[in-house]
Homo-oligomer: A and B are copies of this chain.
Amino acid sequence: MKIHRTEQSSHENRGKLAKRRVKLAGMGRMLGGEKIIFGGQTRYRLLKEQSLLDLAEEAANQALLAAGMNIKDIDLIVCAMATPLQAIPCNAALVHERMAKGLDIPAMDINTTCTSFISAVDILSCLVDNNRYERVLILSGDTASAALNPGQRESYELFSDGAAACVLVKATEGEESAVLYGCQKTWSEGAHDTEIRGGCGLMPAFYMEESNQEDYYFDMKGPRVLKLCAKRLPAFVEQCLGNAGVERKDIHKVIPHQASRALDIIMPRLGFPKGSYIDRVKEYGNLVSASVPFVLCEAAEMGLIQRGDLLLLMGTAAGLTVNFLLIRY
């Protein structure tokens, strides 16, 4: 086990060394059309006539416009979403149908639940660096409202429906934009702390009865998630900072997953005081996979982040998965 630790550390060290010269060339974001207020906290839900695909398409078109590109310039469409729209085909094929029908752009899904966007940027920066792809459109977003349980107030009043997108391209000569270090870990002690048990392969829709309807709703055991995060996150963050050779003061802004209202308790405990990270839980709630790219996009629009800034994208996801990605914006 000790050998394993050492190997992992040496593995993580490599992340620092392999600077991947990529740039987030454009971003976009879109919320569900219905606005609801729960005790001063604003949440958004899809209108009856809206689908997540409408939001994703709008966010992607904004991202393409901001990048000065057309869908025809893109050579890979990736959905980095937490939940499936259909069991078959993958979400990216359905987005492709909306945006790229008639074109032959490859489409695929990458999924680590709420941190899917961070994982996708981590992975795709390697593919772009490797010249496997050059201009990637990444879409995140989920219809939380499709499975929220009105009886579980904590989660019912937390989540919003929304989407966000970005175009990831190779950085050109003279641009300092890059992915500098990435680390993900999964602790499956938390596999059932945040879940939707029913609707898919293990418990198909056909099995739903009066007695097991709860299994088809989103189910979050908030206190258990918080406890596991409190146990794992501090050492994880220290280890990542150490392996990346970066101190907290070097980081211009942390963009955390907007997990819950506990953000203001957890982030300072991880050594990130108020102001060093972006907290928009009051304004938007937890946008599932769209949280990080949505808040990142808004921060760029508001001038809170500038080209050349060192940013930390960080988050926890059902799994329990944690992700840590340092980028030069």
Q: How many residues of A contact B (CB 8 A)?
A: 89
Q: Contacts A52-B201, A129-B130, A208-B208 given; 15 further ones with Cβ under 8 A?
A: A53-B202, A83-B200, A84-B84, A85-B200, A88-B218, A90-B112, A92-B186, A93-B186, A94-B191, A102-B189, A109-B110, A123-B123, A126-B126, A142-B201, A199-B204
Residues of B within 8 A of A221 (CB): none
What copy number does this chain have within its complex?
2
Asked if A96 and B186 sit within 8 Å, CB to CB, the answer is yes
Instruction: State the main secondary structure of chain A at its contact with B.
Output: mixed
Judged by a CB distance under 8 angstroms, whether A261 is at the interface is no
Residues of B within 8 A of A20 (CB): 130
Interface string of A190-216 (1 = CB under 8 A from B): 011011111111111110100001001
Residue contacts A-B, CB under 8 angstroms, 29 given: A1-B72, A4-B73, A14-B131, A15-B132, A52-B201, A52-B202, A77-B186, A82-B90, A84-B87, A86-B201, A86-B202, A87-B147, A87-B200, A89-B113, A89-B321, A90-B111, A90-B112, A90-B113, A92-B186, A93-B186, A94-B191, A96-B319, A100-B186, A105-B185, A106-B185, A123-B132, A129-B130, A205-B216, A208-B208
Asked if A189 and B101 sit within 8 Å, CB to CB, the answer is yes
Q: Tell whether A93 pairs with B216 under 8 Å between CB atoms, given A110-B110, A132-B182, A318-B88.
A: no
Pick the most buried of A51, A84, A204: most chain B CB atoms within 10 A of its CB. A84
